[in-house]
Copies of this chain bind each other. A is one copy, B any other.
Amino acid sequence: MGKPLEGVTVLDLGQIYNAPYCTLLLAYLGAEVIKLEPVNGGEHLRKRLGKEGAQFPFLMLNNNKKCITLNLKDEKGKKLFFELVKKVDVVIENFAYGVMDRLGFSYEKLKEANPSIIYASSTGFGGSGPYKDLPAMDLTIQALSGIMSITGFADRPPVKSGPAIADFTGGIHLFGGVMTALYKKAKTGEGDRVEVSMFDAVYPSLASSLGYYFGHKQPPPRTGNRHSGLAEAPYNVYPTIDGHIAIFCVNDKHWANLMNVMNLPEFIDDPRYSTIPERIKNIDEVDELITEWTKGFNKRDLFQLLSRHHVPCAAVQDLEDIHNDEHYRISKMINDIEHPVHGKISVPGNPIRLQSQNDLDIVPAAQLGEHNMEVYHGLLGITMETLEELIEKKVI
Contact = CB atoms under 8 A, between A and B. Distances in A.
Interface of A: 1, 4-5, 7, 17, 21, 24-25, 29, 52-57, 60-61, 107, 125-126, 128-131, 134-135, 137, 139-153, 156-165, 167-169, 172-173, 175-177, 179-184, 186-188, 190, 192-197, 199-216, 218-220, 222, 224-225, 228-229, 235, 237, 239, 244-246, 248, 307, 312-323, 325-328, 330-331, 333-334, 345-346, 348-349, 351-356
Q: Which of A134, A158, A172, A211 has the most B CB atoms < 10 Å from its CB?
A: A211
Given A24-B204, A163-B206, 18 more contacts: A21-B204, A54-B211, A60-B210, A128-B330, A128-B331, A143-B244, A151-B151, A157-B239, A159-B224, A160-B225, A162-B206, A162-B228, A172-B201, A175-B176, A193-B354, A200-B349, A204-B351, A213-B323
A183 B319 CA distance: 36
Contact of A319 (B135, B213, B239): B213
A211 B16 CA distance: 13
Contacts of A214: 53, 56, 323, 345-346
How many chain copies does the complex carry?
Answer: 2
* Interface of chain A: mostly helix, strand, loop or mixed: mixed
Contacts of A192: 4, 354-356
A343 B212 CA distance: 17
A248 B137 contact: yes
B351 A173 contact: yes
Given A139-B248, A159-B225, A162-B161, A320 B180 contact: no
Nearest to A131: B327
Contacts of A215: 52-56
A170 to B, nearest CB: 8
Contacts of A139: 225, 235, 246, 248, 314
Contact of A180 (B161, B193, B248, B352): B352
A109 to B, nearest CB: 15
24 contacts: A4-B180, A57-B208, A137-B248, A139-B235, A139-B246, A139-B248, A139-B314, A140-B314, A143-B244, A143-B315, A145-B317, A145-B322, A146-B317, A152-B153, A152-B162, A157-B239, A169-B172, A172-B173, A172-B201, A177-B352, A186-B186, A194-B354, A203-B334, A212-B319
A12 to B, nearest CB: 16
A204 B168 contact: yes
Contacts of A209: 162-163, 319
Nearest to A226: B160
A150 B319 CA distance: 8
A212 to B, nearest CB: 5
B352 A4 contact: no
Nearest to A235: B139
A199 B142 CA distance: 22
A166 B355 CA distance: 23
Nearest to A227: B139
A203 B327 CA distance: 12
